[in-house]
Structure 1
Amino acid sequence: MSLLEQLNQDMKQAMKQKDKEKLSVIRMVKASLQNETIKLGKDQLSEDEELTILSRELKQRNDSLQEFKSAGRDDLVEKNQTEINILQQYMPTQLSDDELEAIVQSTIQEVNATSKSEMGKVMSAIMPKVKGKADGSKVNKLVQKHLS
């Protein structure tokens, strides 16, 4: 089942259950997907493109969450956390720290990187492998740790 089909099904269910928050998030994601489809001039997005959009929406929510926490806006923190939880239901299962560590180490060996100056080469090799399954900043920190 494609992401759009899943969203449509969940949207119907949220309407029946009168779950306004979930309905709002689903509509927002659908709008983002449709906007991207129009922008790219395609009939349908690939699974990879859908994942990119979901990741972008999740990252925006996480960034906002940090801003709201630092500003002491507990009402917005709670709303944002709910949106994040709903979005994460559509993301692939996240890699564990051990799995991510193994991928980082094997990729560093694959590209024969030995210093931090080769970080870009390592990151460009790793990110397609972990797309949607790990946070980029977490990957970045692990690569820096192994290259230092």
Structure 2
Amino acid sequence: MSLKVQLQDAQKDALRAKAKARLSTLRMVMAAIKQREVDERIELSDEQIIAIITKQVKQRQDAAQQYHDAGREDLAEHELAEIPVLQEFLPKPLTEDEVAELIALAIEQTGASGVGDMGKVMGVLKPQVQGRADMGAISGLVRSKLN
């Protein structure tokens, strides 16, 4: 079953269960998916939907941090409550060992020898770790390995 169908089914279930917060979050994700499909006139693949969900999670984390810094804990809690709903539809996160192994393989595969080759390594890693690990952390690890 495609990820889009899973999201639609979850949205219907949330509607039936009258889970307003969950329904709101799922509607927001479906709206983002639909917007991209209409803008680009394509049917999104699961990988593209995962990228959208990953972006939504990051936006929630950033917004929660900003609300927290501004002393608006009520709004920060609302943003943080949406994150687990979104994460249900992301693949299982990678462990630190799996990430290290993927980085080593990507460096070996691309023949990277310095920080100048970081783009090549990240290009190989991104499809493998999208939605399963924080790309910012991956970038830092790759940079440290290439130094």
TM-score w.r.t. the length of structure 2 is 0.93
| Aligned ranges 1:98-113 → 2 under 5 Å | 98-113=97-112
Separation of aligned partners in 2, 1:2 and 1:114: 39
CA contact (8 A) 2:63 2:79 kept: yes
Q: Deviations over 1:10-40 (max 9, x none)?
A: 1222122211100000111111111111011
Q: Are 1:15 and 2:11 an aligned pair?
A: no
* DSSP-derived class of the 1:133 partner: coil
* Consecutive unaligned residues in structure 2, runs of 5 or more: none
Aligned to 1:27: 27
> 1:1-148 to 2 correspondence within 5 Å?
1-42=1-42, 44-148=43-147
Q: Which moved more, 1:77-86 or 1:124-133?
A: 124-133
Q: Distance in 1 between the 2:31 and 2:94 partners? A: 28
Listed one character per residue, the Cα deviations across residues 34-74 of structure 1 (whole Å, up to 9, x for unaligned) are: 111101112x2211221121122112112212212222221
- Give the distance between the partners of 1:89 and 1:73, measured in 2 at CA: 26
| Residue identity opposite 1:132 in structure 2 | G
Deviation at 1:4, TM superposition (A): 2.2
- Report Cα offsets for 1:118-146 as digits up to 9, x if no partner: 21221112112212211110101110121
Opposite residue 57 of structure 1, the aligned amino acid is Q
CA distance in 2, matches of 1:127, 1:7: 23
The CA RMSD over aligned residues, in Å, is 1.3
Structure 1 SS opposite 2:54: helix
Identity of matched residues, %:
35
Report the TM-score, using the length of structure 1 for normalisation: 0.92
Query: What is the rounded CA distance, in whole Å, between the counterparts of 1:140 and 1:124 in structure 2?
Result: 11
**2:103 & 2:68 partners in 1: Cα distance?**
31
Kept in 1: contact 2:94–2:132 (CA 8 A): yes
**SS at 1:55's partner residue?**
helix
Which one-letter code corresponds to 2:104 in the other structure?
Answer: Q
Q: CA deviation at 1:8?
A: 2.0
Paired amino acid for 1:92: P
